[in-house]
Structure 1
Amino acid sequence: MATAKAVTGTTSSWDPYVRGCPSRDLLDRIGDKWSILVLGELGKQGPCRFTQLRNRLSGVSEKMLTQTLRALERDGIVRRTVYPTVPVRVEYALTPLGESLRAPLKALTEWSVLHLSEVLDAREEYDNRASPSG
């Protein structure tokens, strides 16, 4: 059975193509729709309160946003800061680790916008071929 990490023990030996490798979990996290949008918004706007994020991310439920922020915080990508005010004020911001994701995520976002027409055309062509009447 293949191991998730080679015997060398270096981080360069993590292999997301091997079942059980923790890097797969990380790819799932940073590749998740809401994670990408949260990270993009925090990268663009800087620190935000929960309500600001929810309002800017059309379609996200409070439960999903809470789960996403907690997971990103657990992974060290987002920092949650509680200010001792009345009422308590909480802000979310990218950590230095989260900041390091800005360029790759921006590239993915730009690619998706640049190639959206091609993808939509390909989908339509596929659907026409795959439909019984097409």
Structure 2
Amino acid sequence: MRTTARGLAATRATAPAAARVSARALARRSNTNTRSLVCRGAKGTYNTSYAGTEEYKRHDGDVGSSEYQIARLSTRIKQLTEHLKTHKTDHATRRGLMALLNQRNTLLQYLFKNDRATYTATIEGLGIRSRLADKL
């Protein structure tokens, strides 16, 4: 059996292989973790101005009405479309854009079924083509 010496050399010699980590490896790990935290912190933050969507609110605290949600989605869709014109190979953004388009179409279908006047006013105000009126 080996006798243990005191100090740092002794801990390296007696520590299991999984626990032995060099200072350089620790530095690499900490850099990786900080990078991923920075990316996670920025997730969901967009440089989108929703200034033109105020007219679609029913009241000051309105965030859930269909027409206001459609207006906000349309603003974000326009921004992503402009982004994809310059970054043609950004497939993750293209996938996100398709999800936003599907969400807006679902809300438009709901408005078309339940409140035809609001649907018409919303698509005319936002300049969205109506594909649902053709199905009548």
Query: Is the radius of gyration larger for structure 1 or structure 2?
Result: 2
Instruction: Report which of the two has the higher share of strand.
Output: 1
* TM-score, length of structure 1 as denominator length: 0.26
TM-score by length of 2: 0.26
Which has more helix, going by share of residues?
Answer: 2
